[in-house]
Amino acid sequence: MRKAKLLSLFSSLFLLSGCWDQTQLNETKLVRAAGFDYLKNGKIRNTASIPQSINTEAGVGQVNNQVFYAVGNTARQSRIKLDRKVSEQVDASKNLIVILGENAAKHDIYHILDVFYRDPKSALNARIAIAKGKASDVINSKFEETETTVGIGQYLNESVRSAEKASIVPTENIQTICPVMFDPGQDFGLPYLVPEKNDVSVNGVAIFHGYKMVGKIYGAQGVMYTLLTGKQKHLSMSLTKKITNKHKDRILNYVSIKVKKNKRTFNVNVSPDDKISAHIKLDMKVVITEYPRDNLTTKKKIQNIEKALSKRLTKDANTVLHDLQDMNSDAFGVGRKLIAFHNPTWKRLDWNKEYPNIDYTASVNVKVIGHGIIE
């Protein structure tokens, strides 16, 4: 009797109709790069790059970057209008990167990103970056690499990924910044793109406070910003620093290093009278990759270089911290530590007013672990 019931149950399962959400690729246009800009009238322009592979006479595959525009009162409305301009259905589930124009970034960016967080098909692992000027100009640019087999979305995505590996910019995507936007004790930074004649330069870090961009950190300072986050402990990034002014021949005043390991210690203290101080210490292990003066054969010489590099990088680190305070961006999360470990103090203060005035310092200790094959 029991076996008969089980057999009847399993047999009935085959009669149940299943349902699933499916999309036919031959009926869709895959967006690989999306851009958003605020127009003067307050509306949002959505720019989408949709690559299409074509075969040349030589039989070589080539990518044709089709760019479409649509304007709406919201990001969702602009996407709906964009869908009407394309022959097939627009699908952003394989999107690689989202670019926000600088003006859009200075508004509340969540108003734009909300459309991604509410759509279950959204590519939440898509990178996000800020463009100097308009996002539409970046996506519509004709870069050299995109004229062959690389689409604009892939090109921009790989450019940012390369900068992340070199620790030029922090590693972020649409998903990772979401909880930070809602965190009163921490802010964040995003890659800052500058379009040039034939390529795009990942030129620094766009700094945010809450939902809005409040400033930028360029070049080598962007590298120091990334090091201060402490997220990348094992890395292989290069720096060239001026460590002396003694030599008339300019090249002899510089040393180039490759950072192999970076360990961060971050302490936040509160005194009995509620005075807040924070200190970030970086312990770096580096390899000297270029030293035009040579003479790296003595222990004393190596120690002098370590001392000079530590002093210079400490100065750079403190410059970054002071710049962040001037922008009122708590990118490294001093407030988050106060919430976790000094909550009564946190509840008593107005962090937006207090943060720019706290005692916030950094120190860098450099240890040379290698200096090339020539002794």
User: Within this chain, do residues 285 and 145 fall inside the same structural domain, yes or no?
Assistant: no
Q: Which of 130, 127, 116 lies closest to 154 in space, CA to CA? A: 127
Residues 244, 201 within the same domain: no
Average pLDDT of the segment spanning 70-79 = 92
Residue with tokens 């949002």: 44
Residue in the structure block whose two tokens are 């002794």:
375
220: its two tokens: 């080598």
Q: Are residues 292 and 164 in the same domain?
A: no
Point out the domain boundary residue: 160, 189, 219.
Answer: 219
Same domain, 56 and 169: yes
pLDDT band at 233 (very low <50, low <70, confident <90, very high): low
286's tokens = 């580096």
Domain identity same for 180 and 48: yes
Q: pTM value?
A: 0.86
Query: Is residue 193 located within the same domain as residue 153?
Result: yes
Who wins on pLDDT, 199 or 311?
311
pLDDT of residue 57: 57
Q: Is residue 225 part of a domain?
A: no
> What number is the average pLDDT over the span 214-223?
90
Q: pLDDT value at position 291?
A: 78
Across-strand partners of 366? 284
Alpha-carbon span 98 to 36, nearest angstrom: 8
Among the listed residues 53, 51, 48, 52, the one whose alpha carbon sits nearest the alpha carbon of residue 33: 48
Are 46 and 64 in contact by the 8 Å Cβ rule? The answer is: no
pLDDT (0 to 100) of residue 157 = 93
The parent domain of residue 207 ranges over 28-219
Q: How many domains does the chain have?
A: 2
| DSSP one-letter code for 131 | E
